[in-house]
Structure 1
């Protein structure tokens, strides 16, 4: 069971910087053009068969879980189909492996940079991709008012079920004060490259991933596939239908009146929230941005040798037995800092049996790495932060030891890039992967943010 949320006595926030560091503009792409969405050429009868589902999380007695499928944003960024790389030769030694990965990094860097610099003339991808989401709905009892809808977007290398320990801690914190803050519905999405979504899309994914497409997927879900009202347990079909054009237009102009929506994203999941928040401010009440992958251009000098991409491409992802897969994950230096419950869920949900009886990760590291090659959109979204309407509250959560987000000086610049209705929590001892390494701490921050803005603080906590 996830640990209960501790009293928020150790709260520390980054102060607004006295000076704004000058930055070089990226000339951001027009958000209206970037978020353009066409109806996908599929009917409900065309949806693929979803063969995986999630089980009821432990200790969530008040909530029921169901798994749902819907088309991702259409069309996609220009790319060719990725080509599955042959398995390394058995005799490949460490030096040969390093040379092979270096060649892949060089190639993938070159085609991504061509795309970002406007030298890629290929047409948009018109394959229909799919997204899988878990829905957790509260047993609806007659109560006054409307509870919150929370939507969670994971970062690179994570998966929708990895949020469960953190959400459990949030619910534990709020359970004693249900009349103050009530969460009626929670959605956790797998992005198109990861988890169950990645399994469905694997054969048709491209050799480039524009992370702006993750933002388009968010807009697509919110406008066209999130049901208008919160339905009870087992009341929604597995295949989510697309809402009418008239309803989507109403959402663009007025949001979803029956819902108060709080979006929570980590890393690239947080990054994906910026473009839609600029374009569709009425859809969102607040954004919780955990170690958001939004960077000022003066971080361009960081990691010129693509260290993170190299590490991802070298990760093992297929084994002869489930036992050997689990053992390898537990011994991996990459997973060692993760919370034990997150690792348990990773072993439960991120591994799948292959047709030949072996075991592999649902997310192919090669496809995961494609998201790491992104540069343009992370600078664009940082620059666009101050265009988010002040009606949307922005709450940032930072790890002081994070290499990705530039450390406290840069994190402070980011936290106050959009002034007004903004706040942050700062943890000097934590790194980038906060939801995986410190889910209870992140839960504490989110729970108290929700209490401050959607409820009344109990007298004992003032």
Structure 2
């Protein structure tokens, strides 16, 4: 599997006015045998809150190895507050006028992804958008900025998109869990003496001890950076405060649910859920089926972080969707 990374300037908006440009890193993955197949699909992977683009790599590798139908390439894009993007944007994010931190929601990220899809990197490709958790929300919201034919299909993995009435149903039961996640993120350890120490520390703790070893190794290799001017030592590239203030954003998931209902009549929407996940209650999942939004539904064993925990199972599910729907994708574009 070959790779290359690019840096994309995000579009101007209220958070990104001229002269204060945020950047989005994207990484391309391909195999020489398929990269020149113009009829092949391009898979665009979108990660969740606090993750980084490289956490998709075991899944992407699994898809490119398994898939018999043609896939031209895969791309993974990175939230402006995460990974390499966070490093490039650190000065802008911490120096926003009138506030201590600049919060970049799925709304703003979706604008950047939509611009990227229309850029020379992806223009004219047959694109399947694959999103996980809040990244699934951002993937859906890109359709608000694109023509219907720009995307062949959506694959929603443990999406946090939700209809407003469903979100507030039994909200009192779920608020403690959300507050615990925000608190844990704010208090998370973010420095270690070395990458090896960081790896051993994470191996012994939730949620990292549940992750596939390849994903965890990728986190240590790609999501940590040397601490400048402090001698030996590494730290997370992500700012935990920026990550924490992203969790309570509810309007992007509401808008994404409405967008899913709007587009499902002309863009196939495939759902992948994790049987052991508690973040998205069953009745919220079922609301997509009752509204006849789903082109297909698959259930995998694992938790909400299924991409990190079971990348091979996720890759197999994606391949199954592509293999059973490839004729639909090609007929649309």
Q: TM-score, normalized by length of structure 1?
A: 0.63
Deviations 1:133-182 (CA, angstroms, capped at 9, x unpaired): 111233257987611111101111221111111122222222xx3xxx11
Are 1:134 and 2:27 an aligned pair?
yes
Task: Spell out the pairing of 1:330-369 with structure 2 (5 A cutoff).
Answer: 330-355=203-228, 356-357=230-231, 358-369=233-244
RMSD (Å), alpha carbons? 2.4
Q: 1:299 aligns with which of 143, 160, 167?
A: 167
Contact 1:67 1:133 in 2 (8 A): yes
SS at match of 1:282: helix
Which residues of 2 match residues 221-236 of structure 1 at below 5 A?
221-228=116-123
| CA distances 1:86-124 after superposition (whole Å, capped 9, x unpaired) | xxxxxxxxxxxxxxxxxxxxxxxxxxxxxxxxxxxxxx7
More helix as a share of residues? 2
Task: Give yes or no for contact 2:110–2:142 (8 Å, CA) kept in 1.
Answer: yes
1:76 and 1:126 in contact (8 A); partners too:
no
Matches of 2:267 and 2:86, distance apart in 1: 31
Partner of 2:97: none
1:28-47 aligned within 5 A: none
Do 1:388 and 1:418's aligned partners in 2 also have CA atoms closer than 8 Å?
Answer: no
Note if contact 1:152-1:187 (Cα within 8 Å) is conserved in structure 2.
yes
Distance in 2 (alpha carbons) for counterparts of 1:332 and 1:304:
23
Task: Output aligned runs, 1:159-170, within 5 Å.
Answer: 159-170=52-63
Asked whether 1:434 is paired with 2:300, we answer no
In the TM superposition, residue 131 of structure 1 has moved relative to its aligned partner by 0.8
Q: Which runs of no fewer than 5 residues in structure 1 stay unpaired?
A: 1-59, 79-123, 229-255, 457-462
For residue 140 of structure 2, the aligned residue among 265, 274, 295 is: 274
Structure 2 counterpart of 1:214: 109
Higher strand share: 2
1:126 Cα deviation from its structure 2 partner:
6.3
SS of 1:224's equivalent in the other structure is coil
Structure 2 unaligned regions, length at least 5 = 94-100, 329-333
Deviation of the 1:426 alpha carbon: 1.6
Q: Report the Cα offset of residue 353 of structure 1.
A: 0.6
Count of aligned pairs = 312
| Structure 2 partner of 1:68 | 6
Residue 88 of structure 1: aligned partner: none
Shift in alpha-carbon separation, 1:349–1:215, aligned structure 2, 3 A: same
Aligned-pair distance for 1:279? 4.4
Does structure 1 conserve the Cα–Cα contact (< 8 Å) formed by 2:199 and 2:216?
no
What is the CA–CA distance in structure 2 between the aligned matches of 1:287 and 1:70, rounded to whole Å?
22
Distance, in Å, in 2 between the alignment partners of 1:303 and 1:126 is 41
For the residue of structure 2 that corresponds to 1:424, the secondary structure is: strand
2:298 alignment partner in structure 1: 425
Cα deviation for residue 326 of structure 1 reads 2.2
Q: Could you tell me which of 43, 48, 67 is aligned with 1:155? A: 48
* Whole-angstrom distance in 2 between the partners of 1:368 and 1:413: 28
1:72 positional shift: 1.7
Distance 1:362 1:140 in 2: 34
Deviates more, 1:135-144 or 1:429-438: 135-144
Could you report, residue by residue, the CA deviation over 1:348-406 in whole angstroms, capped at 9, with x for unpaired residues? 11111121232101112112212212112212221332111523111000113322221
Q: State how far apart, in whole Å, the 2-side matches of 1:143 and 1:75 are.
A: 35
Question: Is the Cα contact below 8 Å between 1:77 and 1:210 reproduced in 2?
Answer: no
For 1:380, what is the secondary structure of its paired residue? helix
Q: The residue matched to 1:451 in structure 2 has which SS? A: helix
Which residue of 149, 153, 156 maps to 1:289?
156
Select the structure of larger CA radius of gyration. 1
1:292 is paired with a residue of what secondary structure? Answer: coil
Q: Which residue of 2 aligns with 1:42?
A: none
